[in-house]
Structure 1
Amino acid sequence: KTLIVAESHANRLTAFDIAADGSLANRRRWADLGNGFPDGICLDAEGAVWYADVPNRHCVRVREGGAMLDSVDADRGCFACMLGGVDGKTLFIVAAEWRGFEHMISDARTGQVLSIEASAPGAGWP
């Protein structure tokens, strides 16, 4: 088993092996994302990861090593994503207006759940 962690401020996804006792070992870079800012992530059945990117206002699908496979643009910051629906191929995106870190606390109610069809169904645990 593998745990993949989004390191937003380091612009990367990091992986760990999960031992039988639940301990983590073998920390490694799963993907360097350049200017990508991963927040929420989900895994698909092909072993790729979708990551929500708040400041860049999109969700991106990458494979191990960082190759970009797909991207979905939004008109607001993407905070989280998850594959689900009847066949597991609906990418649900939690998105809201993004005006930068200096304006993170706001009473503007701009949140939405967006959805789009993905090429592969979800896998793993959220």
Structure 2
Amino acid sequence: MRIGEVAQASGASVTTVRFYEREGLLSEPMRSDGNYRVYERHHVSSLRFILHCRSLGMTLDEVRSLLKFMETPDQGCQLVNKLLDEHIAQVAEKIGQLQALKNELQRVRAKCHGADSINQCGILRELTHQA
């Protein structure tokens, strides 16, 4: 397959395929006589795996680690569990930060009831006061 075909088959863009190659997450494909990249089915599977991990908010380093773990299939999965537990903890922390942000935005929003002019807007006064 050429790069456009592997991109389409995996749901990635051509730019994304090249990016993951540069980052070392996707193995480099062979080259044709005309120096075109020639991809195989395993590239599509790898890209789908990478994209799925990224959709779960995993960093490139986390994905890199998971791919490395997959190279030793007989090894125990304790390290995979540890990586995922750490990622879950990071997600929980982000949820807490987002909840605090939501609460603050709701507090600021409550400063205005929509009937005032811009000069009297409680939201703008609150944002200016805290700046």
TM-score range (shorter-chain normalised) is under 0.3
More helix per residue: 1 or 2? 2
Structure number with higher relative contact order (C-alpha < 8 Å, ≥ 6 residues apart): 1
